[in-house]
Structure 1
Amino acid sequence: MTEPDERTPRRAAVVVNPIKHTDVDLHSLAAKVCRGEGWEEPLWLETTKDDPGHGMARQAIAEGVDLVIAAGGDGTVRCVAEELAGTNVPLGLLPLGTGNLLARNLDIAVDDPEGALHAALSGTERKIDVVHITVDHAQKAHVFLVMAGLGFDAALMGDTRDDLKDKVGWLAYVDAGIRHLPGKPARTRITIDDGKPFLRRLRSVMGGNCGKIVGGLEIFPGAKIDDGLLEIMTVAPRGRFGWFAVVAELLRRGKSKDPSIEYFQCRSAEIQTYEPQDVEIDGDYLGKGTHLLMRVYPNSLRVRMPYGHKDPAVLVSPEP
């Protein structure tokens, strides 16, 4: 792809999930913001039930756009990023989902579509890591940008009611979480960076690329999205009140030695369970599986974000 110059107006593609309802006409807003920033009319591509964004992102790349904006939730962002990773085409975000976790970590407005579009078109650009994850030895790997999990967290994602998300937003996950608190731990074998495997009895294993979720809570304390490292967290509540210890440990940001949560930092991790467990990737429920292989690919995705000082818990260099 040739670099644009001042005589060649740039063009963005917007890959939008049409089921995400908003109070504004996003198509008209995107066209207006592009004109105001000196860009051409955007290429507008809607996802479908059969294709949540992969084909649209590939079409945008083939048409030579200078930027692809993912307009949707974390699932739409993940599918578009999977196609852009390793290319020279940057990703912009127009958050329309419930969690919008990547946008929150990068200080992209989740309730200001016009501000998010301006950040995508004229903000600063950084390179971030992506994590490739293979489920049950599949031939094709997925990509995640925020986190993936096996066990309790994935069951929560799979059982969250869409109608409740539309009404109360992220609080719908609390409803699902409470319903899945009871349960048995799974025998799990974990290998960190091709080291010696170790065994645990766990309710959940999660891999993280960045740490913050809704409300600013850090699931992976100190995780940075551009440090070339993968964070692993294991969850093993003990006894009737074990989940209280898990919550307390999260609030202490992993600073105690409570065995209900363990953290590991690595470049790759292999997770094997003896019985099928629920699996999720960036909030998308994938069904059940027994084997995950995760490997980080450093600085392989270009992302646009607003100018300004960033949370040092998210980026290695918090300055733009």
Structure 2
Amino acid sequence: MPTDVSPEPTTDTVADAGSGGRRAALIVNPIKATTADVEGAVRRISAEDGWEEPLVIETTAEDPGHGQAREALAAGVDLVIAAGGDGTVRCVAEELAGTGTMMALVPLGTGNLLARNLDIAVDDPDAAVESAFRGTERTIDVVHVTVDRAQDAHVFLVMAGIGYDAAIMSDTRDDLKDKVGWLAYVDAGIRNLPGRPSRTTISVNGGKPFERRLRSVMGGNCGKIMGGLEIFPGARIDDGLMDLMTVAPKGKLGWLAVVGKLVARGKGKSKDPSLEYFQCRTAEITLREPLEVQLDGDPLGRATHMAFEVKPDSLRLRMPLGYKDPAVVSEPLP
């Protein structure tokens, strides 16, 4: 009699049907998790789907996720769930990128930038945990950043910058974030509006350097920030490219031109220097004087040099099933 051979299940089918012997690690920021039983949800879904008891590791003030991610990798887990703010997510991703181990996230912070871009529930930890186990798998780019020609590079998933944007992140009041959430960044933005431009040299894809007088230079892997504002129009997290934006307001009303062009999603006068965009795989930024640096909202101090390099398809990531905006991923899900 013929033998009935079933097709091998896809990754998503395995996730939905359960996988005996598989194990997840939960890396959780205990400060961020005070109002949500994320660990309970991870244990519950692990049991429901036939996974082994999860490995649970808390971050600390001294180590926001790097060592914990390495511990999870050493344990040979199949899925690493980063539960915390953007800093926790970035540190875990920095260790997982290039390893082939699946990552998921449960947003518990204020900005939750990557989660907002990927339609991961920012106000429903249970739904985010369910997506971590039962969602769809995508492979995304990460961008490596070297600051002041350091030997070791950092990574970012959403955006990084030097200048005004980083000053906002560095100057945002934690007590205000606890009270009004992401509006605290607006407060810091207004307080940092005054300032003078910095002479900046930029090279894109190894090309001839050019100079600008700028308040900020930002690299984007995907485009959306808090409030639904899309500051990198059309940026995709899986296209092998980074979007570079320069900000150069002119005069007292210069910021109005910047905001207007942001609202218009980069459209308008092509020669308007207040906001310029470049697409690239590599970029190098050099300043005459040190300015604040940020990666995915994490302040890194001051620097005069940043080098960016896109690493395509570096990180396996779980996200919710369903449609994804083509401004985020190259091939939207049905």
TM range (shorter): over 0.9
Letter in 1 for 2:325: D
Return the alpha-carbon distance in structure 2 between the equivalents of residues 7 and 171 of structure 1: 42
Equivalent of residue 236 in structure 1, options 229, 248, 256: 248
Q: CA deviation at 1:21?
A: 4.1
Q: CA deviation at 1:88?
A: 1.4
Q: Which residue is equivalent to 2:21?
A: 9
Return the alpha-carbon distance in structure 2 between the equivalents of residues 313 and 240 of structure 1: 33
Q: Which residue is equivalent to 2:197?
A: 185
Tell me if structure 2 keeps the 8 A contact 1:190–1:199.
yes
Per-residue CA deviations over 1:52-107 (Å, capped at 9, x if unaligned) read: 10110011011010000000011100000001100111110100000111011111
Q: Which residue is equivalent to 1:64?
A: 76
Q: CA deviation at 1:18?
A: 1.0
1:29-48 correspondence to structure 2 within 5 Å: 29-48=41-60
Equivalent of residue 312 in structure 1, options 326, 330, 334: 326
Q: CA deviation at 1:31?
A: 1.1
User: Larger Rg: 1 or 2?
Assistant: 2
Return the alpha-carbon distance in structure 2 between the equivalents of residues 88 and 165 of structure 1: 35
Calculate the TM-score normalised by the size of structure 2.
0.93
Equivalent of residue 75 in structure 1, options 74, 87, 93: 87
Q: Which residue is equivalent to 1:280?
A: 294
Unaligned runs of 5+ in 1: none
Instruction: State the secondary structure of the residue aligned to 1:196.
Output: coil
1:197-208 correspondence to structure 2 within 5 Å: 197-208=209-220
Q: CA deviation at 1:26?
A: 2.3
Equivalent of residue 208 in structure 2, options 196, 208, 215: 196
Return the alpha-carbon distance in structure 2 between the equivalents of residues 297 and 36 of structure 1: 36
Return the alpha-carbon distance in structure 2 between the equivalents of residues 29 and 125 of structure 1: 20
1:93-112 correspondence to structure 2 within 5 Å: 93-112=105-124
Q: Which residue is equivalent to 2:180?
A: 168
Q: CA deviation at 1:41?
A: 1.8
Tell me if structure 2 keeps the 8 A contact 1:33–1:114.
no
Return the alpha-carbon distance in structure 1 between the equivalents of residues 48 and 112 of structure 2: 26
Return the alpha-carbon distance in structure 2 between the equivalents of residues 79 and 200 of structure 1: 32
Return the alpha-carbon distance in structure 2 between the equivalents of residues 13 and 311 of structure 1: 29
Per-residue CA deviations over 1:18-56 (Å, capped at 9, x if unaligned) read: 111442322222211221222222110001111110110
Unaligned runs of 5+ in 2: 1-10
Instruction: State the secondary structure of the residue aligned to 1:301.
Output: strand
Instruction: State the secondary structure of the residue aligned to 2:72.
Output: helix
Return the alpha-carbon distance in structure 2 between the equivalents of residues 167 and 212 of structure 1: 23
Tell me if structure 1 keeps the 8 A contact 2:19–2:51.
no
Tell me if structure 1 keeps the 8 A contact 2:20–2:50.
no
Instruction: State the secondary structure of the residue aligned to 2:268.
Output: coil
Identity, in percent, stands at 68
Q: CA deviation at 1:6?
A: 6.8
Provide the alpha-carbon RMSD of the alignment: 1.4
Q: CA deviation at 1:126?
A: 0.3
Tell me if structure 2 keeps the 8 A contact 1:128–1:301.
yes
Letter in 2 for 1:316: S
Q: Provide the aligned length of Structure 1 versus Structure 2.
A: 318
Q: CA deviation at 1:239?
A: 0.6
Letter in 1 for 2:324: K
Instruction: State the secondary structure of the residue aligned to 2:257.
Output: helix
Per-residue CA deviations over 1:283-309 (Å, capped at 9, x if unaligned) read: 000000000000000011000001111
Q: CA deviation at 1:7?
A: 6.8
Letter in 1 for 2:289: E
Match status 1:18 vs 2:44: no
